[in-house]
Structure 1
Amino acid sequence: MNKMKYAQWAGFGVVLIVALGISWFSMGTMAMDFFHLPAWIAYAVSVAFDGAAIYVAVLSSEYAKTEDSGLMPRLVTMGMVGVSAWLNFQHASLMGLGLAGQVFFAAPPVIAGILFELFLKFENRKELRKRGKVAKSLPVFGKAAWTRYPTKTFKAASKVVLHRLNEVMKTETQTLDDVYQEDKTIIEDKTPVKTEQKTAAPKKTLKTKTAKELSSEYPDIDQIDADLSINKIVLTLWGGGMRDRDDLVATVSKVKGIEVTKNTVNRSLSRAGLV
């Protein structure tokens, strides 16, 4: 942490100490003088109020460093700052200090709240920048370009914005497509095989070549990883030259160890644009 950081934190600490000191004194003396509470209760209430405000403020700063919304803690913090300023204002009024005294008592909590809000905005934007959620600034064309060639400069800036928009759309669309395909694959892989419950009906068998015949005809079948999705296995076999649907169904069923329907194979080929 450099000297400038130390100076910033020191300045904020001074403002915070002054605000807390005035709040502690104002609430304590007002509770004793006007509400006739014992001293220890009066100052305990002030400590509890200020302590809660500090806790919520710290919680807000932690939220600013995450992706979660810290709106509620920030609203509570601003609300407590407002209540503190109002109580100090009323205390000055009860003491008959006039407008100058009212502003004098009410200003420190408001100033501390404003400084803290600026700090939260800075921390939040810094975190967003780390995650790549802050847009890059446009290229600097300079005053001369805007003055002499305003139309060309505007078009150039528009092209930069359009290019970045297309890049974002391409990235987000690709991500959504990958997630969609992965979800579809998981659903297809995890779908239980529906079998007939009737004991009298014979078990259905695929009217295709045997696994031994397929392995001899396509020797690379045994090297296919069973952990691959059905979609990837179908595309692998298709790329290896296997075109017969029944052969594809039998081979995928053999590799995955489950009964795969011809509709599932056709959907895989259709999504890949092969049929």
Structure 2
Amino acid sequence: MSHTAWRFALTVVSLAALATTGWSLYAVARHYDAPEIIAVAVFLVFDGIAYACLHLASEASAAGRSAFGARFTAVGMAGVSVYLNDFHADLIRGGTPASLLFAMPTVGLLLLSELAWAGPRADARAARTEQPYRLPAFGGWAWALAPRLAGRTVKARAVHHIEHGPPTAVMTVEAPVRHSATEVLRRRFGEMDPAEAIRVAHDAHPDAPPAELASMLITYGVIVDAVQVALVLHGQPAEVTVDRDDTDDADRDADDAPQVTGRPALTKAQAILEAAAVLGPKFKAADIVDRVKRINRITTDDAYVRTVLHREKKAGPDSDGRPMEGGYA
């Protein structure tokens, strides 16, 4: 039911209840020869004051004030109104049915108003973080099968509420927010140093060019370009430790300068020999140059490759126990 429909229904019921009990009070007043205006004022006084006091009690409760006075006054005025309704039933010799007919509209209207204002009062108390005592929900079967135990339990909880206050406030549990794997990885990459993120992407795709790695990292929120990726992957660190091969020619000392590597430090000659062993018998000097640059991050040329391989071939069994195979054109 909408709020407007509810208000309309409550208004109709209130007017009907006031008309029924009001006519009874009007008849009692006329019985005592009261003027018609005074007779009309009688029911407005009794039922109107009771209804107004109930409204004041609701506002007091919502504001955190004591509503005892207003509620006591509402009950008192309603009690007098019910007594006069019962007296009217005796005047017309209607008995109990007439008494209920004239009195119950007042009682029902006050109870309905009390229930209607209970919701706003509870909202106001919740806003002030108040938690009044409420009867535990044992269920009808529990009260029917163990009424004494249920009563003692209710009393014990009420005493605990009075002495120690309400239990832990009810907290609203929000459903966990689900994130996709991409969102989680974006946050993880966002917490990383960009250089470290570039190295992680390179380890996952070692053959990808810098431009492709940069495009891939952008999808994870790491804004870099191809030049920055190449700088991180091929740049030189501040300090490196490189072991130099003592068999290198003196005129090649400049070519054996320390090189940046992401692997354990190797001399240029060792890197060339390792590439030659991996490539097998069918290799060319250009293939070794390309592999040493790509794997070991060491720059060399064809002439130096031929020199190292020739020196290794002359060394013979001292290297690995077998002659060097393959060409190096």
What's the TM-score once normalised by structure 2's chain length? 0.38
TM-score (norm 1): 0.45
Higher Cα Rg, which structure: 2
1 or 2 for the larger relative contact order (CA 8 Å, sep ≥6)? 1
**Higher relative helix content:** 1
